[in-house]
């Protein structure tokens, strides 16, 4: 396992430095990495798939990526809320026209107007947080579709990878993309604010 881990770390470094040579004749990113791993570490690189398949690896990668996107978005929304609070506090007495149907309607405080956006963003934060709960499911151990023949400690893997729970159904785990669509839907709503 250590030899494979070191080989994969070396390949990751090649990719980050732009030195990795992708071969378009190979099927996909997985085949490119596997071929390079075999070049680097030899036959032991063929053990990469022990207790896993591309299906659960892709499901895992997509969940890790989406979890990071959600966490980053949440942090930025909270920063934005703090900026709105600071701006509202600095402009407590400023009056501006309040609009309805694109027409000036009533005078309102600028701070009140700014804090309306704070409330909208809070709803967005709540939606992203809910989406994170459904994204935070570790699929490893699902194999291609029907699990794996090895007795792996899925709870341990989930903890090590920072997941709050493990998937309950292997078929669903490797085919679920709901969380990606949900993230995009929540992001679309957020952009309206």
The CATH number for 117's domain is 1.20.200.10
**Are both 20 and 71 inside the same structural domain?**
no
Of 2 and 84, the structure prediction assigns the larger pLDDT to 84
Name which of 82, 114, 95, 108 is nearest 193 in CA terms. Answer: 114
**Are both 158 and 178 inside the same structural domain?**
yes
What is the DSSP-derived secondary structure letter of residue 112? H
Average pLDDT over residues 70-74: 99
Chosen domain end from 10, 27, 50: 50
134: left (phi over 0), alpha (psi -120 to 50) or beta: alpha
**Are both 92 and 186 inside the same structural domain?**
yes
Q: What pLDDT was estimated at residue 8?
A: 85
Average pLDDT over residues 157-174: 96
**Are both 75 and 158 inside the same structural domain?**
yes
C-beta separation of 140 from 160 below 8 A: no
Residue 55 pLDDT exceeds 90: no
Per residue in 93-106, pLDDT (tens digit) is 999 999 999 999 99
Average pLDDT over residues 26-42: 84
Of 8 and 113, the structure prediction assigns the larger pLDDT to 113
Q: What pLDDT was estimated at residue 94?
A: 98
pTM (whole model) above 0.85:
no
**Are both 56 and 66 inside the same structural domain?**
yes
Lowest mean pLDDT across 21-30, 125-134, 172-181? 21-30
C-beta separation of 110 from 94 below 8 A: yes
**Are both 3 and 67 inside the same structural domain?**
no
**Are both 112 and 73 inside the same structural domain?**
yes
**Are both 123 and 41 inside the same structural domain?**
no
Provide the domain count of the chain: 2
**Are both 72 and 23 inside the same structural domain?**
no
Name which of 6, 44, 47, 39 is nearest 20 in CA terms. Answer: 39
Q: Which two tokens stand for residue 21?
A: 């040579």
**Are both 82 and 29 inside the same structural domain?**
no
What is the DSSP-derived secondary structure letter of residue 154? H
**Are both 36 and 70 inside the same structural domain?**
no
Name which of 142, 145, 139 is nearest 59 in CA terms. Answer: 139
Q: Chain-centre distance of CA 80, in angstroms?
A: 20
**Are both 43 and 112 inside the same structural domain?**
no
The mean predicted confidence, pLDDT, of the chain is 92
Residue 45 pLDDT exceeds 90: no
Q: What pLDDT was estimated at residue 34?
A: 85
Percent over 90 (pLDDT), the chain: 67
C-beta separation of 138 from 168 below 8 A: no
Of 12 and 115, the structure prediction assigns the larger pLDDT to 115
* Residue range of the domain that includes 157: 51-192
Residue 187 pLDDT exceeds 70: yes
Residue 54 pLDDT exceeds 70: yes
Per residue in 107-164, pLDDT (tens digit) is 999 999 999 999 999 999 999 999 999 999 999 999 888 988 888 899 999 999 999 9
3-class DSSP state of 105: strand
User: Is residue 101 classed exposed, middle or buried when 0-12, 13-18 and 19+ CB atoms within 10 A define those classes?
Assistant: exposed
Q: Residue 103 forms beta bridges with which residues? A: 100
Spatial CB neighbours of 101, under 8 Å, sequence gap ≥ 6: none
């Amino acid at each position: 396992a250590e030899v494979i881990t070191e080989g994969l770390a070396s390949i990751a470094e090649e990719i980050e430095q732009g030195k990795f040579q992708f071969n378009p004749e190979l099927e996909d990113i997985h085949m490119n990495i596997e071929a390079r791993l075999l070049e680097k570490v030899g036959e032991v690189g063929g053990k990469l798939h022990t207790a896993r398949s591309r299906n659960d690896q892709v499901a895992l990668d997509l969940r890790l990526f989406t979890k990071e996107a959600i966490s980053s978005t949440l942090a930025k929304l909270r920063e934005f809320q703090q900026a709105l609070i600071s701006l509202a506090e600095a402009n407590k007495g400023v009056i501006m026209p309040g609009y309805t149907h694109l027409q000036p309607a009533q005078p309102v405080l600028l701070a009140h107007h700014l804090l309306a956006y704070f409330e909208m963003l809070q709803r967005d934060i709540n939606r992203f947080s809910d989406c994170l709960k459904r994204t935070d499911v570790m699929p490893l151990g699902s194999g291609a579709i029907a699990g794996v023949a090895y007795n792996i400690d899925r709870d341990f893997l989930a903890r090590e990878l920072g997941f709050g729970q493990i998937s309950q159904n292997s078929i669903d785990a490797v085919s679920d993309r709901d969380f990606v669509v949900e993230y995009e839907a929540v992001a679309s709503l957020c952009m309206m604010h």
